[in-house]
Structure formats: C-alpha cells, structure tokens
Amino acid sequence: MPINQDAQMDACRLDPAAALFHSLSDPIRLKIVKRMAGGEVRVGDLTRELGLAQSTASMHVACLRDCGLVEGRSEGRSVYYSLSRPELMNMLAQAEILLAATGNAVSLCPNYGPDSTTAPMIEVENAR
C-alpha cells in the first residue's frame, strides 16, 4: 500500500471525538466558529472581519462543513454559513471553564503548546 494510503487509512480510523477536537484544533477555525455564533456569515465577510485570504477562509469553512459543524444556505450568488449545531458553543464554553480551572496549563504541554517541537513531527509521521 502506498504511503499516502496508509495515512488515509489512519485518518479513517480516528475516534469520532478525536476527529471533532482535531477539526477545532486550528485557531482560525475557532475564530470562524465564534464569529458564526453571532449569526450567518459569508466567506467574504470572514476575509474582511478576520483578515484572512479568501482561499484560507474557504478552506477552513469547508473543513468545518465537512465535519458537520457548519452548514450553508444559498441566496442568489451568495452562500451564508452558520453553525449547524448550537451545542458546539456550549462545548467551547465548557472548554474555557476547564482552561480557567487548570490555569491554561495546556499551553505548557510539550506536545501541543506554543513552543512545541514534537507536534510538527507527529504531523510528518502521520503523513507517512
């Protein structure tokens, strides 16, 4: 089996909870989710409000949509995106409570904290 197929097979076996958290692991996607909590938004709005390139905003919205967290509604030539599951905001609120209770200790995590040197290696290993 080619290397890329191995990585795809590993991704298919992800536990659904791990996949959910992975879909929210990017700070840009979290910003998009928080913006959508305030109501519908078009990709063009996200580019202006969050200072993103159109391709970046589109890619992250597509990821959230593919994970079932965001849905689109067409109106003319525009697509308005919104959260498909309002429970997502409850989960994020609970995460903020947990972060406050732990003193944001997760930011010191050697694997995933901001100064992590092993997280990129994990990504490389999974790509093999």
pLDDT digits (tens, 9 = 90+) for 79-122: 999 999 989 999 999 988 988 888 778 777 777 776 665 444 43
CB-CB contact of 53 with 5 (8 Å): no
Give the list of residues 6+ apart from residue 44 with CB closer than 8 angstroms, or none: 54
The number of beta carbons lying within 10 Å of the beta carbon of residue 57 is 24
Cα distances (angstroms) measured from residue 33 to each of 62, 109, 124 = 12, 24, 27
Is the entire prediction scored with pTM above 0.75?
Answer: no
